[in-house]
């Protein structure tokens, strides 16, 4: 029986483009990352396409692809996946951001980093004051919440992620196409009238990526591995639950670069004792990319290298634990949002001579450019 353990490290949004102020290097190339470089030097590397053609470059699409789920068959929307994490049910399930809009411009998709306690009060207020019996708002983590809508609507509307339109007018990006879209527009406009009564952080809700609850193929059935998911956000916990994985929660996580990295790393190590396959997903680097702050992203990458990669490497034997390291998608500083471009990956077990973990170096690796759906088979075979 195979006694090897498998640890997948997913630093969300780490990949990037070259940045002029960083000497035309990517943040990953520029950052001091001795521990991720050590992983790469013990690995075969390559670039993976994690966003299938025709799909928006969301973390939902990318992480499902990495974990071997063909989104062309199984994807129903981001809202339903996050609803899985919270056990929320409804006919239609949407991600519900608390956002800040000024003069019709999307200023902040995160409601000025609204904290959990204040966000929960906002959600409670919305449920008390709402005018629709078929809509229920459910609290998530900070600005990331869920709206459940019941009703026999014929199709999901076309929506836009708020982090894709930072600094842009919201009107061209309002939900469209169908009766449900019209209802959601009413909800968004209503929220802009009432939210200033309860908070100065967020002044509007933004509903997006809705659909019905999905049915994903299970990790244990496909690969014979008992799995655990560790993250900071409902999206990944929803994916984990949908894949039949157990969810491991860590206190003190913030989904920012001030998160409880040690707690996350320790949870991964502990989970490796009880599970065959462990996913550790962290969010802070992606958020730095959305901020468009090159220095902050470099700092976030170096913190990750020390407090996640380094902490774990110091406490495992690579002969016993196989590591896959890869971001889910790029979040370039210049774009301030996700892009559908390949990401670097490293899978330990046999070195192909790669010396550093970066977009440029992994491109030279043994695997070349591959479909992200192949990552799991390469990893656990």
CATH number for position 221: 3.40.720.10
Q: Are residues 241 and 372 in the same domain?
A: yes
Q: Are residues 202 and 324 in the same domain?
A: no
What DSSP line would sit under 30-82, residue for residue? Answer: HS--HHHHHHHHTEEEEEEE-S-TTS---HHHHHHHHTT--HHHH---HHHHH
Please report, rounded to a whole number, the percentage of residues in the chain having pLDDT higher than 90: 96
What domain count does the chain have?
2
Q: Are residues 207 and 222 in the same domain?
A: no
Q: Are residues 313 and 272 in the same domain?
A: yes
Write out pLDDT tens, residues 307-340: 999 999 999 999 999 999 999 999 999 999 999 9
Paired tokens of 132: 């629709």
Question: How does residue 3 score in pLDDT terms, banded at 50, 70 and 90?
Answer: confident
Q: Are residues 228 and 197 in the same domain?
A: no
Sequence-ordered list of residues with C-beta below 8 angstroms from that of 346, at least 6 positions apart, any chain = 36, 39, 40, 43, 44, 45, 323, 324, 325, 326, 354, 357, 362, 365
pLDDT of residue 1: 37
- Model confidence, pTM: 0.87
Give the pLDDT mean for 285-299. Answer: 96
Domain limit, last residue, from 211, 232, 249: 211
Q: Are residues 235 and 143 in the same domain?
A: no
Question: How does residue 381 score in pLDDT terms, banded at 50, 70 and 90?
Answer: confident
Domain limit, last residue, from 211, 235, 253: 211
Domain limit, last residue, from 158, 192, 211: 211
Place of tokens 């043994």: 366
Write out the residue range of the structural domain in which residue 181 sits: 81-211
Q: Are residues 263 and 284 in the same domain?
A: yes
Give the pLDDT mean for 280-286. Answer: 97
Q: Are residues 145 and 273 in the same domain?
A: no
Q: Using CA of residue 354, residue 285, residue 26, residue 302, what is the dihedral sign?
A: negative
Sequence-ordered list of residues with C-beta below 8 angstroms from that of 172, at least 6 positions apart, any chain = none
Q: Are residues 303 and 184 in the same domain?
A: no
pLDDT of residue 275: 98
Q: Are residues 157 and 229 in the same domain?
A: no
pLDDT of residue 297: 98
Give the pLDDT mean for 8-16. Answer: 98
Q: Are residues 260 and 369 in the same domain?
A: yes
Using the predicted structure, report yes or no on whether residue 286 has a pLDDT greater than 90.
yes
Q: Are residues 342 and 227 in the same domain?
A: yes
Question: How does residue 2 score in pLDDT terms, banded at 50, 70 and 90?
Answer: low
């Amino acid at each position: 029986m195979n006694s090897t353990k498998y640890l997948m490290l997913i630093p969300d949004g780490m990949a990037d483009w070259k940045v002029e102020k960083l000497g035309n290097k990517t943040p990953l190339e520029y950052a001091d990352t001795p521990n991720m470089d050590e992983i790469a030097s013990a690995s075969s590397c390559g670039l993976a396409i994690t966003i299938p053609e025709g799909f928006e470059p969301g973390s939902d699409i990318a992480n499902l692809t990495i974990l071997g789920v063909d989104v062309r068959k199984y994807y129903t929307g981001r809202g339903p996946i996050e609803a899985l994490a919270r056990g929320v049910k409804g006919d239609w399930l949407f991600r519900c951001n608390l956002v800040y809009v000024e003069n019709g411009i999307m200023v902040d998709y995160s409601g000025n980093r609204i904290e959990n306690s204040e966000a929960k009060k906002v959600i409670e207020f919305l449920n008390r004051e709402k005018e629709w019996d078929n809509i229920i708002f459910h609290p998530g983590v900070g600005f990331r919440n869920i709206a459940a809508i019941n009703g026999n609507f014929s199709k999901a509307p076309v929506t836009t992620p708020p982090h894709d339109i930072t600094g842009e007018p919201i009107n061209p990006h309002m939900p469209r196409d169908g009766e449900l879209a019209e209802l959601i527009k009413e909800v968004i406009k209503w929220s802009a009238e009432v939210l200033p009564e309860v908070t100065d952080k967020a002044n509007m809700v933004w509903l997006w990526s809705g659909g019905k609850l999905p049915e994903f193929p299970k990790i244990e059935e496909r690969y014979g591995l008992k799995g655990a998911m560790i993250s900071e956000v409902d999206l990944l916990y929803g994916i984990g639950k949908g894949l039949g994985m157990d969810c491991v929660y860590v206190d003190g996580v913030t989904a920012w670069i001030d998160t409880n990295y040690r707690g996350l790393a320790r949870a991964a190590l502990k989970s490796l004792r009880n599970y065959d396959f462990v996913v550790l997903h962290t969010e802070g680097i992606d958020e730095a990319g959305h901020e468009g702050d090159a220095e902050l992203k470099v700092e976030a990458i170096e913190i990750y290298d020390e407090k996640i990669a380094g902490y774990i490497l110091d406490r495992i034997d690579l002969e016993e634990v196989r590591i896959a390291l890869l971001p889910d998608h790029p979040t370039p500083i210049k774009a301030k949002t996700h892009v559908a471009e390949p990401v670097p990956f490293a899978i330990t077990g046999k070195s192909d001579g790669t010396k550093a973990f970066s977009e440029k170096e992994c491109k030279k690796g043994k695997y070349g450019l591959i479909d992200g759906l192949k990552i799991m088979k390469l990893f656990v075979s």
